[in-house]
Amino acid sequence: MRTLVTGSTGFIGSQLCTYLKKDHQVYVEKRVSNSGELTNNSNQSTDHLQSILDQSNIEVVVHLAAKTPLKNSSNADETEEFFRSNLVATQNLANRCEASGVKRFVFMSSVKVLGEGKDTAYSNDDEPKPSDDYAKSKWQAEQFLLEMGTRSNMEIVIIRAPLVYGPSVKGNFLKLIQLVEKGIPFPFGLIQNRRSMVYVGNLVNAIERCMTHPNAAGKTYLVSDDNDVSTPEIIRCIASALNQSSRLIPIPVALLKLIGIVLGKKEAMRRLLGSLAIDIQAIKNDLNWNPPFNLDEGITLTIEWYRSKK
């Protein structure tokens, strides 16, 4: 299958391209700057993309390129950039794909479009309640694509992913690994939340299923490892793979919330202590999909990569 992948040099995109090349003919759009594919206003990037669509008879496009939240960023231009990158760029790409005869468009969205802080698992039956500009831009892009799918021959598939981890992971998950390795104590021993995550190997496997399965057309799917865990369990799993002690201190949750208020980190503490679990029964039923890696395997492979890079 002739497949175009955007965001091909990113964490998910690079591993997806490697995975797909075993069975598919993969094309990638040219990255021109660190601001991300399709979001910079480069004629070179646009011309390269259009050339692929015009000359390669692309059947499926997997759109991963996006503007994601940056820690401690409060730039006044960031809101505009979210909508320019995640909504407008998606609209422009989808229109080009439709005009070029692309058969299926797979869009990587986020579980955050459903909201945050629900005690029970989210499902696609829940009404979307995006709480920040990133989630709102993804939700608006979803709406545009689904509407396009009702009036065109291009099939739309949307994937909503939670936190993604695995080899080459960055951000908070990598920092967590580093802290566990250093033996830093964590005051989270009494937290009993539930968090969904997805190992990158499971995610790319699910993306391929969404590319190829006839039942996926017009659908939106939540994807995870199908094994929700608490914050302490995540730390214990990482510590075990590192042959380290987890060093979890049993601090009352109410005290942690108070500390968050005192430090002006109320929302950050709420997210840390809260649950964000999802129900993936829809993709399991519709596409006969089950994650090929369990949590222990995913963490072990992540730690093997981490150690190999030191």
CATH at residue 46: 3.40.50.720
pLDDT band at 287 (very low <50, low <70, confident <90, very high): very high
**CA-based nearest residue to 3, from 62, 91, 65:** 62
Number of neighbours of residue 285 by Cβ within 10 angstroms: 10
At which residue do the structure tokens 């692929």 appear? 52
pLDDT at 38 over 50: no
Distance CA 108, CA 138 (A): 9
pLDDT at 43 over 80: no
Range of the domain at 35: 2-168+197-227+277-292
pLDDT band at 34 (very low <50, low <70, confident <90, very high): very low
Question: Would you give the DSSP letter of residue 143?
Answer: H
Residue 35 lies inside a defined structural domain of this protein: yes
Distance CA 142, CA 33 (A): 26
Write out pLDDT tens, residues 246-278. Answer: 999 999 999 999 999 999 988 878 878 889 999
pLDDT band at 119 (very low <50, low <70, confident <90, very high): confident
**Number of domains forming the structure of the chain:** 1
Return mean pLDDT, the chain.
Answer: 90
pLDDT at 35 over 60: no
pLDDT at 300 over 90: yes
Residue 93 lies inside a defined structural domain of this protein: yes
- Residue 191: exposure state from Cβ atoms within 10 A (0-12, 13-18, ≥19): buried
pLDDT at 32 over 50: no
Specify the pLDDT at position 11. 94
Catalytic residue list contains 19? no
Residue 60 lies inside a defined structural domain of this protein: yes
Instruction: For residue 18, give the H/E element and its range.
Output: helix 11-20
Residue 186 lies inside a defined structural domain of this protein: no
Residue 305 lies inside a defined structural domain of this protein: no
* Lowest-pLDDT choice from 84-93, 205-214, 267-276: 267-276
Distance CA 264, CA 202 (A): 37
Q: How far is CA 21 from CA 2, 4, 25, 102, in A?
A: 10, 11, 6, 19
* Residue-wise DSSP of 247-303: -B----HHHHHHHHHHTT-HHHHHHHHS-B-B--HHHHHHH----SS-HHHHHHHHH
Write out pLDDT tens, residues 134-187. Answer: 999 999 999 999 999 999 999 999 999 999 999 999 999 999 999 999 999 999
pLDDT at 308 over 70: yes
Residue 148 lies inside a defined structural domain of this protein: yes
Residue pair 228/194 in contact (Cβ under 8 Å)? The answer is yes
Residue 80 lies inside a defined structural domain of this protein: yes
Reported pTM: 0.91
How far is C-alpha 185 from the chain's CA centre?
28
- Among candidate residues 134, 165, 221, 306, the one labeled active-site is 134
In terms of residues, how long is the chain?
310
pLDDT at 40 over 50: no
Q: Where are the alpha helices (DSSP H) in 120-220?
A: 133-151, 171-181, 200-212
Distance CA 310, CA 307 (A): 5
Residue 266 lies inside a defined structural domain of this protein: no
pLDDT at 73 over 60: no
Specify the pLDDT at position 77. 67
Q: Angle at CA 178, nearest 5°, toward 248 and 293?
A: 85
**Averaged pLDDT, 13-41:** 72
